[in-house]
Amino acid sequence: MAKIISIHSFRGGTGKSNLTANLSASAALRGKRVGIIDTDIQSPGIHVLFGMDEEMITLALNDYLWGNCPIENAAYDVTPPPVRDAGGAVYLIPSSIKSGEIARVLREGYDVGRLVDGLRALVTELKLDCLFIDTHPGLNEETLLSMSISDVLAVVLRPDSQDYQGTAVTVELARRLEVPRMMLVVNKVPAAFDAGAVREKVEKAYGVPVAGVLPLTDEVVRLASADVFCLRYADHPLAAQIRGIAEVIVS
């Protein structure tokens, strides 16, 4: 049965979308058929990591939510060559980047129930092994919905005071929604910080296992979302850490 994984963070700027792309690619490198749905309709961005631009996106998640098309018609095969060679596949369902359509969503909203139905249809139509949901940061009905239907929830935070309180609320809500598996990923950690000490502090504060403590890395900053880091820098220690987290998620 396909696994649904939500990648969430309370605040923006934690590296959630970048991490989602990397975890998805890493899972697909294990020969899995992986779907990624960008539910951050207000500020979509994960498509950039897979080299997609506005011209290439003819149908998006927005079109499905407004009843214009079946959801699988808004899915794009973005399988990178190394993943294809490994027998895996990556399908991306992007959100529209047209400002008019974003404004329409903000103005009119959408049927979240239809979103849930769409996720199920995606899994079936594309024969997915796992589906990653890249959520909008913060707590709203859509993010709570994503959590409620997920088998795994990964909450991303930085070692930053602005992230702590909101992450605590998110973790508690996830517990109340009885998410089967929950983990934390501490991202953008300054290299001089002791990873073991960070892990210990965070696990103690939240009572949730930390799947990874990922260092702030120059190569990631320089890459600037132009590609999927784990594929571009496959031998980098950070890529190995992310593959480790992906293995924990899909196992």
Partner 1 sequence: MSDDEPLDADELRTLLSLVDAEQSRADVLMNVVIPIGAALAYETEWGRLLERIVCDAMKLCTADGGVLYLRDPSSSAEARSHESSRALTPVIVRCDSLGIAVGGASRGPVAELCRPARRGSTVADAAMRSASVNLPEAHDEDTGTWLCGEAEQFFEVTDYRTRSSLAVPLRGQGGEVIGVLRLFNARRPDDYEISPFEPGMQQVVESLCLLAAAAVESYVRQQRLKDHVRELTIRIDETRKGHEVSAIVESDYFKSLRQRARALRSGGGNGDDNGNGST
Q: How far is the CB of 117 from partner 1 (least distance, A)?
A: 8
Q: How far is the CB of 109 from partner 1 (least distance, A)?
A: 4
Q: Choose between 169 and 226: whose C-beta lies nearer to partner 1.
A: 169
Please list, in sequence order, all residues whose beta carbon lies within 8 angstroms of the beta carbon of residue 217, skipping any fewer than 6 positions away.
Answer: 191, 236, 238
Q: Supply 204's token pair.
A: 């103690």
Q: 89-93 and 76-77: which strand pairing? A: antiparallel
In degrees, to the nearest 5, what angle opens at C-alpha 155 toward C-alphas 48 and 74?
Answer: 35
Q: Choose between 31 and 190: whose C-beta lies nearer to partner 1.
A: 190
Please list, in sequence order, all residues whose beta carbon lies within 8 angstroms of the beta carbon of residue 167, skipping any fewer than 6 positions away.
Answer: 9, 10, 155, 157, 184, 206
Q: Supply 11's token pair.
A: 């605040």
Site residues for partner 1 per CB under 8 A:
109-113, 116-117, 139-142, 144-145, 148-149, 159, 161, 164-165, 168-169, 172-173, 176-178, 180, 190, 192-194, 197-198, 201-202, 205
Q: Supply 237's token pair.
A: 């220690």
d(CA 2, CA 222): 34
Q: Choose between 182 and 230: whose C-beta lies nearer to partner 1.
A: 182
Q: How far is the CB of 26 from partner 1 (least distance, A)?
A: 26
Q: Choose between 49 and 184: whose C-beta lies nearer to partner 1.
A: 184
d(CA 50, CA 91): 10
In degrees, to the nearest 5, what angle opens at C-alpha 213 toward C-alphas 228 and 2?
Answer: 60
Q: How far is the CB of 147 from partner 1 (least distance, A)?
A: 8
Q: Choose between 84 and 114: whose C-beta lies nearer to partner 1.
A: 114
Residues in the chain: 251
Place of tokens 């923006």: 12
CB 65 within 8 A of CB 110: yes
Q: Choose between 197 and 234: whose C-beta lies nearer to partner 1.
A: 197
Q: How far is the CB of 90 from partner 1 (least distance, A)?
A: 25
Q: How far is the CB of 165 from partner 1 (least distance, A)?
A: 6
Q: Supply 116's token pair.
A: 């849930």
Distance of CA 114 to the CA centre of its chain: 20
Q: Choose between 144 and 248: whose C-beta lies nearer to partner 1.
A: 144
Q: How far is the CB of 177 from partner 1 (least distance, A)?
A: 6
